[in-house]
Amino acid sequence: MKKPIKVLDAWAILAWIGDELPAAEEVNLLLRKAEQGSVKILISIINLGEAYYRLAKTDRDVAERMRHEFSSGPFKIISLTDEQVWQAAGLKADYAISSADAFAASLAMEMGAELVTGDPDFKELEREGSLKIEWLKRK
């Protein structure tokens, strides 16, 4: 049986790092499943960079700890190919999402994965059936 694939966006990463409940608990559960080998977690380097710069604006040490944690955790950081950049650019052109969100959506679509997020900007893509989403609960 093929392992389910999940893609974390920056919203999910920041909720987890910031211990924003209940979303952080849901991400923790997902990470435990990845450690047990029952799910595969991917993160675009663009989304990890977005989480880093948002954290670094207020606390560079927290941002660095996050960066190091993600360099050894139960997930795979995905660097970009030219084709992935063009796919994300097309999504950005067609939808009211940020550039970084376009990379998360594009990676999830390419991998046939669910995007794990609490960011409502993805709702239009989900409504159209272009993107599968696992919605994290917001405060």
Q: Give me the pLDDT at residue 92, please.
A: 96
86 band by pLDDT with thresholds 50, 70 and 90: very high
Show the domains of the chain with their CATH numbers.
5-135 (3.40.50.1010)
Question: Average pLDDT in the 40-64 region?
Answer: 96
Per-residue pLDDT, 71? 84
| pLDDT reading at 24 higher than 90 | yes
Which pLDDT belongs to residue 134? 97
- Comparing CA positions, the residue from 131, 96, 128 lying closest to residue 117 is 131
CA–CA dist 80, 114 (Å, integer): 19
Cα–Cα distance measured from residue 48 to residue 69, given in angstroms and rounded to the nearest whole number:
11
Per cent of the chain over pLDDT 90 is 91
Q: For residues 65 and 78, give the distance between their C-alpha atoms in angstroms, rounded to a whole number.
A: 19
Whole-prediction pTM: 0.93
% residues pLDDT > 70 (the chain): 99
Residue 48 has φ and ψ, to the nearest 5°, of: -65, -40
Q: Can you give the pLDDT at residue 138?
A: 86
CB 116 within 8 Å of CB 101: no
Q: Find the distance separating the first CA and the last CA of the chain, reported in whole Å.
A: 35
Render pLDDT for 90-139 as a digit per residue (tens, 0 to 9). 999 999 999 999 999 999 999 999 999 999 999 999 999 989 999 999 87
Q: Specify burial of residue 108 (Cβ count, 10 A radius: 0-12, 13-18, 19+).
A: buried
Mean of per-residue pLDDT scores for the chain: 94
